[in-house]
Structure 1
Amino acid sequence: MTNEPIQASNNAVQAFAKSFETEHTQDYASNTIKNDDLQKLVGRVTCGSKEMDFEYLQKNPDAKKFSWIMGDDGLSLFLKQSNIQALRSIGLEDRWIRKKLENGKLFRLGVFYRSDACIPTSWDEVFSLIDTYYPKSISIKIRQHADVLKRMNFDEIEARARSSYLRG
């Protein structure tokens, strides 16, 4: 690795890549990305074993209408933490990660420029996406639970989903 500082913000993706590559090396201090550049970016972790697994933000774009991405706050974790810590911080569990790796899967972090198509994840935005991209019958069913969902934390939602799934 060279000890060259990252150039001006003409390519924020390359600047992020250089920071990420040197994250745990002696060159890291001189290769940190500027905050202005980081704020231009978003990213998503994908998992797969073949090149074609990484062509899209998710494996089955026909079945899943949305891909959840992280903003600069999430990307900064990948620069400050170990890879396993960063994966944990986005909600992946050690057991699940280990199983994927044992099955020959790889994890990749896709980084790209923020655009108007990147919608912040909030309950209001999620409901708006459902209203727009799903049939009205589904939107009505989900909207019935909007107030309750907004008051629950992730663990409560997940526990409720698991228990209702197990009941059939």
Structure 2
Amino acid sequence: MNRQDDLAAEGEPEKEFNPGIASRLPRKTTAGGALIRDEAGRILFLDPTYKPTLDIPGGMAEYDESPYDACCRELQEELGLELPVGDLLVVDWVPALGVWNDALAFVFDGGVLTPATIARLHIDPGEARGAEFLTLDQARPRLRPSLARRLTLALNALTAGHPLYADFGRQPAE
């Protein structure tokens, strides 16, 4: 089945018992990114044109777009290739900060790229000044601390074989 079939199977949308309540509920931002590695295990980082820190490929979901679909779309836009996106590694809640609403950041397994695939990457200059494969320790000085924590958890999830939940890059038990 596809999404349209699934929506049709749901039936009529639920009616509001208290008119207007849905429009008063908070809205969360959602993002999907990919943990992409080279054969040496280094992570692919982009140097975005729109912020001063490194980031992994991916981005914000558009209206009515899933985090997975946003990740796939952003990889195509940023890297110029349709790359397979694998399993979920981390869901991280990010608190509101400055002008930004709170968000859910999803990190998916972007797999390991061969040298031939890496050679075919075409970084969109409107999206990023460049890209490089770095270890997490090499990248850490150029990352927001919360992203470094989130990526540490994503690497742990690869080893653990199951996704992890985090609050601002920390597991709730920390």
TM range (shorter): under 0.3
Greater strand share, structure number? 2
What TM-score, normalized by structure 1, do the two folds share? 0.27
Greater helix share, structure number? 1
What TM-score, normalized by structure 2, do the two folds share? 0.27
Larger radius of gyration: 1
Select the structure with the greater relative contact order (CA < 8 A; seq sep ≥ 6). 2
